[in-house]
């Protein structure tokens, strides 16, 4: 598990996927500061790591990345995590209901994944 400090390739993501889930990499995005934690068994672990490093919980969103799909395609990023259940922020699903937040997440992912 790590907070990215440098851009990673699709091949790097595939290596991460291979050692845990086979086809996906869990990630948590801080939409305020643009950071991204990856490579853990649980989104909650990545969330904790980001919180320990100064992120605010309301800025953190869990996603899954599927390295076998086209980076710019619809199937590359899946907006699905238990940490996303946030009635206090009007997010009542495991997805990311706010389209503006989804767009921020996509931009941050594309900044970190080459």
Quote the pTM value: 0.96
Closest to 71 measured CA to CA, from 19, 111, 41: 111
How far, CA to CA in Å, does 41 sit from each of 62, 81, 97? 12, 12, 24
What per-residue confidence (pLDDT) applies to 6? 98
Task: For the chain, list residues with pLDDT below 70.
Answer: none
Token pair for 110: 């594309």
What per-residue confidence (pLDDT) applies to 30? 98
What per-residue confidence (pLDDT) applies to 21? 93
The span from the CA of 64 to the CA of 77, in Å, is 6
What per-residue confidence (pLDDT) applies to 16? 97
The span from the CA of 84 to the CA of 20, in Å, is 21
What per-residue confidence (pLDDT) applies to 94? 97
Closest to 61 measured CA to CA, from 21, 91, 17: 91
What per-residue confidence (pLDDT) applies to 65? 98
What per-residue confidence (pLDDT) applies to 96? 97
What per-residue confidence (pLDDT) applies to 5? 97
């Amino acid at each position: 598990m790590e907070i990215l400090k440098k851009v990673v390739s699709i091949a790097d993501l595939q290596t991460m996927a291979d050692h845990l889930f086979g086809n996906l990499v869990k990630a948590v995005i801080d939409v305020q500061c643009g950071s991204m934690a990856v490579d853990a068994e649980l989104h909650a672990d990545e969330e904790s790591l980001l919180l320990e490093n100064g992120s605010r919980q309301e800025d953190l969103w869990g996603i899954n990345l599927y390295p076998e799909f086209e980076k710019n395609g619809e199937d590359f990023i899946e907006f699905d995590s238990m940490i996303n259940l946030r009635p206090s922020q009007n997010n009542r699903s495991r997805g990311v209901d706010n389209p503006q937040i989804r767009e921020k997440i996509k931009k941050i992912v594309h900044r970190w994944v080459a």
